[in-house]
């Protein structure tokens, strides 16, 4: 069962920062999950919200600010908003990177960056897993490069997500953990999909979901897995 650090190790360090990803790597995660938005000059920025208001000391929409402008602001008075490149450069151990596309516009840039790092670092495509609630964005990724592993995110409709996952030949399905049962987990796996529920933090929930034999757990507290 794979342990996947949500926004790095969000339970211990500020989410989606290099220090948070390093913490997750130190906890020997199998994968890290992160979120991406595009800056106005098309840089892939690792940040969850469409604005910088909640997590930094600045204000404004990510897609209305340039890389230079975004780099001025600080998370917890200390850390910069990382770029996706910076996270790729940080990961030097056997760990996959689950990139969640927060909107359609990021799809093409993420595909290009993955292709670049496959050459630059000699990584295999299975070092990456691109997921999204925006299934059009996933379709665009599959259209641009069908070697990139895809994960279908859903918070509400497992049947629809399963049908779509089969349609685009996804590697995995990422349901909110409340949607899961032992039976539907097995059904998805019988159809060839890996099951990576999110975001499971409480020990009681972790223990319960483990009994469903999921393929991995996305958590803020990787050491609890
Ligand atoms: O990828 C799983 C999970 O991160 C999706 O929800 O809001 O934490 O990005 P959110
Ligand atoms: Ca996410």
Q: What is the number of other CB atoms lying within 10 angstroms of the CB of residue 122?
A: 8
Is residue 36 classed exposed, middle or buried when 0-12, 13-18 and 19+ CB atoms within 10 A define those classes?
buried
Cα(46) to ligand 2 centroid in Å equals 10
With a cut of 50, which residues of the chain have pLDDT below it? none
Token code pair at residue 132: 């999204």
Supply the pLDDT for residue 60: 98
Residue 55 CA to residue 2 CA, distance in Å, equals 28
Supply the pLDDT for residue 13: 98
What ipTM was predicted for this assembly?
0.99
Catalytic status, residue 176: no
* Residue 52 per-residue DSSP state: S
pTM above 0.95, yes or no: yes
Supply the pLDDT for residue 88: 97
Phi first, then psi, for residue 80 (nearest 5°) are -85, 160
Phi first, then psi, for residue 129 (nearest 5°) are -145, 115
Supply the pLDDT for residue 24: 98
Closest CA to 198 of 14, 61, 81, 31: 31
Phi first, then psi, for residue 41 (nearest 5°) are -100, 30
Q: Which of 100, 170, 177, 209 to mutate to test the pocket of ligand 1 (most atoms within 8 A of CB)?
A: 100
Supply the pLDDT for residue 119: 96
Pair 93, 30: CB distance under 8 Å: no
Catalytic status, residue 174: no
Classified as helix, coil or strand, 92 is: coil
Handedness of CA 44, 45, 46, 47 (dihedral sign): negative
Residue 26 CA to residue 55 CA, distance in Å, equals 23
134 lines ligand 1 (CB under 6 A): no
198 lines ligand 1 (CB under 6 A): yes
Beta bridge partners of 150: 130
Pair 150, 128: CB distance under 8 Å: no
Closest ligand to residue 153's CA: 1
For 61-111, write each residue's pLDDT tens digit.
999 999 999 999 999 999 999 999 999 999 988 999 999 999 999 999 999
Residue 177 CA to residue 198 CA, distance in Å, equals 6
Tokens 């996959």 belong to: 96
**What are the structural domains of the chain?**
2-224 (3.20.20.190)
131 lines ligand 1 (CB under 6 A): yes
């Amino acid at each position: 069962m794979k342990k996947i650090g949500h926004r790095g190790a969000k339970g211990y360090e500020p989410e989606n920062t290099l220090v948070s990803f390093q913490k997750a790597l130190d906890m020997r995660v199998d994968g890290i999950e992160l979120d991406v938005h595009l800056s106005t000059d098309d840089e892939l920025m690792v940040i969850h919200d469409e604005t910088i208001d909640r997590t930094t000391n600045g204000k404004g929409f990510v897609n209305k600010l340039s890389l230079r402008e975004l780099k001025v602001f600080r998370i917890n008075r200390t850390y910069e908003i990382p770029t996706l490149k910076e996270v790729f450069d940080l990961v030097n151990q056997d760990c996959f990177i689950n990139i969640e596309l927060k909107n359609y516009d990021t799809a093409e840039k993420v595909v290009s960056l993955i292709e670049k790092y496959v050459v630059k670092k000699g990584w295999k495509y299975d070092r990456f897993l691109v997921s999204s609630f925006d299934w059009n964005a996933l379709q665009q990724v599959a259209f641009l490069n069908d070697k990139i592993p895809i994960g279908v995110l859903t918070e509400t409709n497992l049947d629809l997500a399963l049908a779509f996952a089969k349609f685009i030949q996804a590697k995995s399905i990422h349901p909110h953990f409340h949607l899961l049962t032992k039976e539907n987990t097995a059904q998805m796996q019988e159809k060839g999909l890996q099951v990576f529920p999110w975001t499971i933090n409480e020990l009681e929930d972790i223990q319960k979901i483990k009994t469903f034999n999921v393929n991995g757990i996305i958590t803020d507290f990787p050491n609890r897995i």
